[in-house]
Structure 1
């Protein structure tokens, strides 16, 4: 009989977790497959760590969000937020579902064009548009959302020698009772800056003011904030019609709708506290319908949701490198993925599930990544069974922002696969290699 390794005794705080109806602590079940594909098979064939996306879940999320709005309002259009996840395979699923493209840079604009999105179905947002990018958007008849006066003046100058009058909107920032106020983007509603920008657009004679745009923040949990924002947008639209004889064709309410991830420091899990998309849809559409527009003059409602549509369609598979005891007695796991791969671990307490059967006894643990950096903490505290080196885990709801904000730092960025509705596993982004990382370096010979 093999002698067990000695571990010194320590005092452990009992953490039962949130009680269920049987007055016992909840614990995660093992997650051994995703959309019918075994986790172990995915890791064996594509390596660890590995991002996994579910086409089935993406399509279901999109259709549910669209249904929430178009069952309440007659004219609705979604525009996929490229910055949330701009892998082409992801974008094209949304475009197949009927979504336009919403981009915030020339790089994203070029991706949308390459993905076959018609120019008149691309919304060009963002504060950093270059003159040549604005000209391209004008030539493609894209919707240009003006962020500041410098951009407005640049666009007017570009159009001075053109017969084409681009279709534009202004981005409006406002006080909706949320903190922090996102006043760094667009023109302010309360101090009259937005109305001044509208006046300059009309007076220029070079631009067509066809829309108004706002994006009040991110991961907004207060439904009433959208009611306030919609009221102020409708007020501007009505004034454009009555005071300037310039009817507004669309109101773009942006995104910011939360997923059911759990924010760091939250008292309760996100699944129990996040409003549903129906709650947001009811607040926005009811406000527009009750504002006083004639039925024939209702503006098109555009939504630029990202996180809500893809967060829970993404998973990160990873492997335990080591387990250890910290100086205070807590157990810690070292994983093969870190904050450079899972950027949203700075924002959320992601759900982490073992990928194999486990002992039912749980213990509070800290999850670290493999980086030689003290900030590389995936979870400060999470209840898990004892996992040994070589065991695998599944991190949930990672589809938004991780595959656009990840960094090649110390380790390679992993591959990404999508499980198609048919069950076929498709590699949509290969894992990085040394040759890929060094491809942009130039070889320089130095002489003594």
Structure 2
């Protein structure tokens, strides 16, 4: 039998899904698969070469722009507006420092975050201390340094009173109020408005000679796109403030409505892109401040309006660069790309459909791929069904709008964390260097008996 007459081995056919942006007589709208080679005028390949992959980038200009958009929208309607940036969203010191230069106060939820603010030179009087788990020594420090402490429970109220008494000074406090105004309600925190707990807490504070009731606080949730929630929130806080004034004879100094303003990202549960369904920030300002301006005519003084934004301010200023290390085909025919960043660096990928782009030249032919990370876990998926130009090993994928809750929740799982760069008008600053072995393992100790046993083995 000759070689030419031998049967070739059977190879299972693979059907690959290919999309075409412009084909046929009736051309469709061009698919958004633009090539991204530069950020802030800097080539991303040069950044990867010099600082390694993966890599976080922060655009200072986008950060400042988002803050100013929010501040201008609210102060235009209500001049006595103060923005206290939510540290937990992203507590990189350089990001916090930029926002403080823009005029932001600090909103913190732990002694750790409080220390960050103080190390940055933020006066205690410009710190709002929230959270359900404040330690007595943290409350003591906050009182001594003039910070406002928003109390979260009756147990914390009692502890705050005893702490102030021990110090022999008056502690300025507010209370966090929870409301049944959205589903699911954020009722883990604070005192119930509907059950009367909030007013009872105000009354208990008024009876304590070591505590001064300064304000009312409510944070209703995250990524809130329903303006009706804010209408109910501010209306209820104003009603409570009026009751405190009439029955307790106290004027509220501030109303703190928390944050929850969305960014341009998209939740997995949303069919449409987030940027198309979230109202512009001007509408939030008009809704909230309009109610305040109407109802406050009955008050003697106009209280300070405090906002605690996080996501809206920092989400869009940050990028994650990651390199393609492998391209695979699944049995179903779709392709999977493996990149060197995982959900350890992008934990919010579980909730958000992040925008991704390639540095490969744009093409009319694109493919739908799943983007998976470098972790040895099947659940390490950064995003499914992403349209990209035909991907090859070595391509650089840019994940956009990753500033909120990704760095602050990132972890050294399997890999140490990468460097973070701040980009400003062509200038590159390393605001957090790449982690080394010692950064991760340096805090550990091994009992001598285990070292001996390990050596013997």
Give TM-score, length-normalised by structure 1.
0.95
Q: Secondary structure at the match of 1:281?
A: helix
Q: Aligned equivalents of 1:7 and 1:42: distance in 2? A: 42
The aligned residue for residue 445 of structure 1 is 448
The aligned residue for residue 32 of structure 1 is 37
The aligned residue for residue 302 of structure 1 is 306
Among 63, 80, 84, the alignment partner of 1:79 is 84
C-alpha distance 184-16 of structure 1, shift in aligned 2 (>3 A): farther
Contact 1:217–1:256 at 8 Å: present in 2 too? yes
The aligned residue for residue 311 of structure 1 is 315
Q: Secondary structure at the match of 1:93?
A: helix
User: Are 1:215 and 2:244 matched, yes or no?
Assistant: no
CA displacement at 1:423 relative to structure 2: 1.9
The alignment's C-alpha RMSD in Å is 1.7
User: Are 1:431 and 2:438 matched, yes or no?
Assistant: no
Among 327, 350, 357, the alignment partner of 1:353 is 357
Q: Aligned equivalents of 2:348 and 2:27: distance in 1? A: 33
The aligned residue for residue 46 of structure 1 is 51
Q: Aligned equivalents of 1:93 and 1:185: distance in 2? A: 30
Q: Secondary structure at the match of 2:214?
A: strand
Q: Secondary structure at the match of 2:77?
A: coil
User: Are 1:103 and 2:104 matched, yes or no?
Assistant: no
User: Are 1:61 and 2:66 matched, yes or no?
Assistant: yes
Q: Aligned equivalents of 1:7 and 1:414: distance in 2? A: 42
Contact 2:191–2:197 at 8 Å: present in 1 too? yes
Q: Aligned equivalents of 1:293 and 1:104: distance in 2? A: 33
1:190-209 per-residue CA deviation (whole Å, 9 max, x = no partner) reads 00010110110001121110
Q: List aligned pairs for 1:246-325, cutoff 5 A.
A: 246-294=250-298, 297-325=301-329
The aligned residue for residue 3 of structure 1 is none
1:224-279 per-residue CA deviation (whole Å, 9 max, x = no partner) reads 10011000000011111111110001100000111010101311111111111111
CA displacement at 1:293 relative to structure 2: 3.1
Q: Secondary structure at the match of 1:403?
A: coil
Contact 2:108–2:127 at 8 Å: present in 1 too? yes
1:143-188 per-residue CA deviation (whole Å, 9 max, x = no partner) reads 0000001100001111223332111100000022x21100000001
Q: Aligned equivalents of 2:325 and 2:270: distance in 1? A: 29
CA displacement at 1:13 relative to structure 2: 5.5
Q: Aligned equivalents of 1:301 and 1:428: distance in 2? A: 32
The aligned residue for residue 159 of structure 1 is 164
Q: Aligned equivalents of 2:312 and 2:90: distance in 1? A: 12
Contact 1:255–1:304 at 8 Å: present in 2 too? yes
Contact 2:186–2:220 at 8 Å: present in 1 too? yes
Q: Which stretches in structure 2 are left out of the alignment for 5+ residues?
A: 1-9
CA displacement at 1:16 relative to structure 2: 7.2
The aligned residue for residue 186 of structure 2 is 182
User: Are 1:115 and 2:120 matched, yes or no?
Assistant: yes
User: Are 1:341 and 2:345 matched, yes or no?
Assistant: yes
The aligned residue for residue 407 of structure 2 is 403
1:295-322 per-residue CA deviation (whole Å, 9 max, x = no partner) reads 7611110000010001010000110010
C-alpha distance 378-160 of structure 1, shift in aligned 2 (>3 A): same
CA displacement at 1:294 relative to structure 2: 4.6
Q: Aligned equivalents of 1:193 and 1:268: distance in 2? A: 39
Q: Aligned equivalents of 2:128 and 2:397: distance in 1? A: 38
Q: Secondary structure at the match of 1:293?
A: helix
User: Are 1:240 and 2:244 matched, yes or no?
Assistant: yes
Q: Secondary structure at the match of 2:220?
A: coil
User: Are 1:202 and 2:206 matched, yes or no?
Assistant: yes
Among 378, 385, 388, the alignment partner of 2:392 is 388
Q: Aligned equivalents of 2:427 and 2:298: distance in 1? A: 49
Give TM-score, length-normalised by structure 2.
0.93
Aligned length: 438
Q: Aligned equivalents of 1:92 and 1:306: distance in 2? A: 14
